[in-house]
């Protein structure tokens, strides 16, 4: 007999023999009868144990099981007006698959909210809560929506190495690893590889994979390991072509989640809005003016507070949640050695950030594909060209113009679901202080 999930059973199956399994969420004892709430992936079931039917010993064994023990139960489904689901299971046989220790390190049905750290320390139990699991079902839908859109638009999914020869996003956040007596690094982003692939004929690619950054500060939006969606496309004219792919992708992905994640979004009490394309674009210099008029006291770099204010600005003035900050000044992108500067004004790049609800979600733009210019920009950053030779080589034998972006998938989920901390959108988050569980 096949095991059934709770949502596969209904009162109309009255009288049928069924087999179910799950965690003992709660036991209510009323003398010679007891109600056991059994929880599985899909929901809850009521198992009604009757001493007279089961025999004293088996009855006692079942109803004294500690909470969160795992049992398999065979029994008869019986229609019942009193049971929450309109039916109950009368056990004829049961098997204890795993007995839980007492006390639990974290409650599943407790009313009091545990601290995030306690929850993360006991993540396997934390994930037994429906609303916590729902976050990861949404995350799965986000990835499915991304793939659905990109594969449908001529992009090829690739996998680039995570143990690499050089960093691409600045030395400060590089994790070094010992690699058979040599020095290697954990990939901060697939940047060098996705650009290299533009010289191959795989001219529209994407990757969804972990990226590693030794982020020195503890914030609610940075982790030392995160999931990056990277997209790269060749034969573009300007950064505008990249922004177009990005906005269509983001809108299509949100639409996919809204369509397929109705149950999860309801459980999480989230109203997710499908944005209209094209997204609003405001050049970086104009953003600074807007911020000054709002009393912001930053310099040229738009910080967390600035992003938040801009998010409020576009929400209040236009009712929008997405904003492209375009034409980043070269001054701010100098460290991004691969960013193309404008030929007509080298003080500006075509680089952009896409902000979602007042937080950076994506950075991207057109890359410098001209070998000599790229080399000059790298030298400006004091990079040793020999160390980057495997990358540079790809620019000497026919490299089409190209561009792309990196989008933080965990951040996307965080903002979509209004989660205070990015860690809530990651099963087992990694940060400066946490490498377990």
Chain residues binding ligand 4AD by CB under 6 A are: 169, 189, 191, 213, 215, 222-223, 226, 228, 230, 360-364, 404-408, 410-411
215 a catalytic residue: yes
Instruction: Supply the minimum distance, in Å, between the C-beta of residue 364 and ligand 4AD.
Output: 4
Q: C-beta of 400: minimal distance to ligand 4AD in Å?
A: 17
Tell me whether residue 4 or residue 333 sits nearer to ligand 4AD (CB atom). 333
- Catalytic, out of 44, 123, 222, 434: 222
Q: Is the Cβ of residue 211 or residue 257 nearer to ligand 4AD in the bound state?
A: 211
Name the phi and psi angles at 207, rounded to 5: -145, 140
Task: Give the residue closest to ligand 4AD by C-beta.
Answer: 408
Catalytic entry in 215, 225, 232, 307: 215
Say how many C-beta atoms besides its own lie within 10 A of residue 420's C-beta. Answer: 9
* Residue with smaller CB distance to ligand 4AD, 146 or 407: 407
| Set 39, 128, 213, 341: catalytic member | 213
CB 284 within 8 A of CB 329: yes
The set of residues, in sequence order, having a beta carbon less than 8 Å from that of 359 and lying 6+ positions away, is 221, 304, 307, 308, 311, 411, 415
* Min CB(353)–Mg ion separation in Å: 6
Determine the interface stretch with Mg ion among 238-246, 363-371, 388-396, 420-428 (rule: CB under 5 A): 363-371
Catalytic member of 207, 363, 369, 402: 363
Q: Are 313 and 290 in contact (CB under 8 A)?
A: yes
Catalytic-residue membership of 176: no
Exactly one of 46, 189, 195, 363 binds Mg ion (CB under 5 A); that residue is 363
Cβ-based burial of 177 (10 A; exposed 0-12, middle 13-18, buried ≥19): middle
Length of the chain (residues): 437
> Which structure tokens are listed for 17?
């023999």
Where do the H-state alpha helices sit in 64-129? 116-121, 123-126
d(CA 56, CA 58): 6
DSSP tag of 22 = E
Q: How far apart are the C-alpha atoms of 348 and 365, rounded to whole Å? A: 12
What residues are paired with 212 via a beta bridge? Answer: 225
User: Which does residue 228 touch among ligand 4AD, Mg ion, none (CB within 5 to 8 A, set by kind)?
Assistant: ligand 4AD
123 is catalytic: no
Binding segment toward Mg ion, per CB under 5 A, in 49-57, 135-143, 184-192, 361-369: 361-369
How far is residue 138's CA from residue 415's CA, in Å, rounded to a whole number?
12
* Residue 6 binding: pick among ligand 4AD, Mg ion, none (C-beta 5-8 Å cut-off by kind): none
* Residue 321 contact, options ligand 4AD, Mg ion, none, Cβ 5-8 Å cut-off depending on partner type: none
Whole-angstrom distance, CA of residue 417 vs CA of residue 362: 17
Q: Does residue 217 carry a catalytic annotation?
A: no
Per-residue binder mask for Mg ion (CB under 5 A), 263-292, x = binder: ------------------------------
Please confirm, yes or no, whether 360 is among the known catalytic residues.
yes
User: Number of helices and strands (H, E) in the chain?
Assistant: 14, 16
With tokens 């409650």, the residue in question is 107
Nearest CB to Mg ion, comparing residues 132 and 332: 332
* Active-site residue list: 213, 215, 221-222, 360, 363, 411
Residues binding Mg ion (CB under 5 A)? 363
């Amino acid at each position: 007999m096949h095991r059934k999930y709770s949502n596969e059973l209904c009162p109309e199956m009255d009288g049928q023999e069924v087999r179910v399994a799950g965690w003992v969420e709660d036991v209510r004892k009323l003398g010679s009868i007891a109600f056991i709430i059994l929880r599985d992936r899909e929901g809850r079931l009521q198992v009604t144990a009757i001493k007279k039917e089961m025999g004293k010993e088996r009855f006692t064994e079942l109803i004294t099981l500690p909470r969160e023990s795992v049992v398999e139960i065979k029994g008869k489904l019986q229609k019942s007006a009193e049971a929450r689901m309109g039916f109950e299971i009368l056990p004829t046989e049961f098997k204890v698959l795993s007995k839980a220790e007492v006390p639990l390190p974290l409650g599943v049905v407790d009313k009091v909210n545990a601290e995030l750290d306690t929850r993360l320390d006991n993540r396997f139990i934390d994930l037994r809560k429906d609303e916590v699991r729902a976050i990861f079902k949404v995350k799965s839908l986000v990835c499915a929506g991304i793939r659905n859109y990109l594969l449908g638009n001529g992009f090829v999914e690739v996998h680039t190495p995570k143990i690499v020869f050089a960093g691409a996003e600045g030395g400060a956040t590089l994790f070094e690893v010992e690699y058979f007596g040599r020095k290697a690094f954990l990939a901060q982003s697939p940047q060098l590889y996705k650009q290299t692939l533009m010289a191959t004929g795989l001219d529209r690619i994407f990757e969804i994979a972990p990226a590693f950054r030794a982020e020195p500060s503890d914030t609610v939006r940075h982790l030392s390991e995160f999931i990056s969606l990277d997209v790269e496309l060749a034969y573009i004219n300007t950064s505008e072509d990249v922004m177009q792919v990005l906005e269509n992708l983001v809108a299509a992905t949100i639409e996919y989640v809204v369509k397929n994640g109705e149950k999860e979004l309801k459980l999480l009490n989230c109203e997710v809005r499908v944005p209209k394309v094209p997204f609003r674009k405001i050049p970086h210099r104009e953003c600074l003016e807007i911020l000054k008029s709002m009393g912001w006291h930053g310099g040229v770099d738009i910080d967390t507070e600035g992003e938040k204010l801009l998010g409020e600005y576009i929400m209040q003035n236009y009712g929008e949640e997405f904003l492209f900050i375009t034409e980043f000044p070269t001054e701010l992108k100098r460290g991004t050695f691969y960013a193309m500067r404008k030929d007509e004004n080298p003080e500006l790049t075509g680089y952009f950030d896409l902000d979602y609800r007042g937080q950076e979600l994506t950075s991207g733009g057109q890359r410098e594909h001209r070998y000599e210019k790229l080399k000059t920009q790298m030298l400006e950053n004091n990079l040793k060209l020999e160390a980057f030779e495997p990358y540079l080589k790809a620019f000497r034998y026919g490299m089409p113009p190209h561009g792309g972006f990196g989008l933080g998938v965990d951040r996307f989920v965080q903002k979509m679901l209004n989660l205070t901390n990015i860690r809530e959108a990651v099963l087992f988050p990694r940060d400066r202080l946490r490498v377990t569980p």
